[in-house]
């Protein structure tokens, strides 16, 4: 049980971290041929998910700090919105 509690922050941080890696993979696949708007949105998405990863990691360690949870929620939702925007943009191109 004690080992699970020690691994909980790492496991929680893996979820948005994976989404960040997926955004960077799409950015790498589209390359320099992609529109500037698409590259910018994908880069910001990866950054938002990376911030969300760090915030949820530290929130798992310090759950009484509500600003960490609020920051996690805001950056995660912004990353999801940006992902939706980039998928729509990819469909329209």
DSSP assignment of 3-58 equals HHHHHHHHHHHHHHHHHHHHHHHHHHHHGGGS-HHHHHHHHHHHHHHHHHHHHHHH
Query: What pLDDT does 47 receive?
Result: 93
Q: Which residue ranges make up each domain of the chain?
A: 2-92
Query: What pLDDT does 1 receive?
Result: 59
pLDDT tier at 81 (50, 70, 90 boundaries)? very high
Which tens digit of pLDDT belongs to each residue from 9-51? 888 888 888 888 888 888 888 877 778 888 888 889 999 999 9
Average pLDDT, the chain: 88
| C-alpha 88, offset from chain centre | 18
Q: What is the arithmetic mean of pLDDT over 42-61?
A: 92
């Amino acid at each position: 049980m004690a080992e699970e509690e020690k691994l909980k922050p790492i496991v929680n941080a893996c979820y948005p971290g994976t989404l960040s890696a997926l955004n960077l993979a799409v950015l790498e696949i589209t390359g320099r041929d992609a529109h500037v708007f698409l590259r910018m949105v994908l880069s910001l998405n990866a950054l938002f998910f990376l911030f969300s990863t760090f915030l949820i990691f530290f929130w798992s360690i310090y759950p009484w700090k509500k600003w960490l949870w609020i920051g996690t929620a805001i950056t995660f939702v912004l990353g999801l919105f940006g992902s939706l925007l980039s998928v729509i943009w990819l469909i329209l191109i």
